Amino acid sequence: MPVCPCGRTTAKGQALNMDACCGPYHAGQAAPDPESLMRSRYSAFVLGDVLYLLATWHTSQRPAELMLEAGAKWLGLQIKQHHLRDEDSAEVEFVARFRLGGKATRLHERSRFVREQGCWFYVDGDML
């Protein structure tokens, strides 16, 4: 099993494998919290899993289709902070880095998440 691209580690700092991290969410299990959903969406970007990205996008903001940058090489995810606004809504601030056409880019976003019928969804985000 490959190491999960989201970079989550155990308390001891060991990298988690896909099957112990984002893999089950990609396979249909509901992510238990907004940070896990955020991480699994990052992993889906790395793996090119467009269907997962759309499925975890709240219907109010979900694009009709999604084209991923074919040449993007994802370099890592850093969760800066996450907090619940109330029981069913949350914000996660993250930095994702990728290289495209030889140029390193840093995506810094504060994302909004909501929970409906037990499932967390990405809504939208503000670039920081």
* Interface with Zn ion (CB under 5 A): 4, 6, 8, 21-22, 39, 43
In the complex with Zn ion, which residue's Cβ is closer, 77 or 90? 77
The size of the chain, in residues, is: 128
**Cβ-based neighbours of 9, under 8 Å, separated by 6 or more:** 15, 16
In the complex, least distance from residue 40 CB atom to Zn ion, rounded to whole angstroms: 6
In the complex, least distance from residue 73 CB atom to Zn ion, rounded to whole angstroms: 18
In the complex with Zn ion, which residue's Cβ is closer, 39 or 112? 39
In the complex with Zn ion, which residue's Cβ is closer, 80 or 85? 80
In the complex, least distance from residue 36 CB atom to Zn ion, rounded to whole angstroms: 8
User: Which among 120, 126, 127, 122 has a CA at the least distance from the CA of 62?
Assistant: 122
User: Which among 60, 59, 51, 24 has a CA at the least distance from the CA of 39?
Assistant: 24
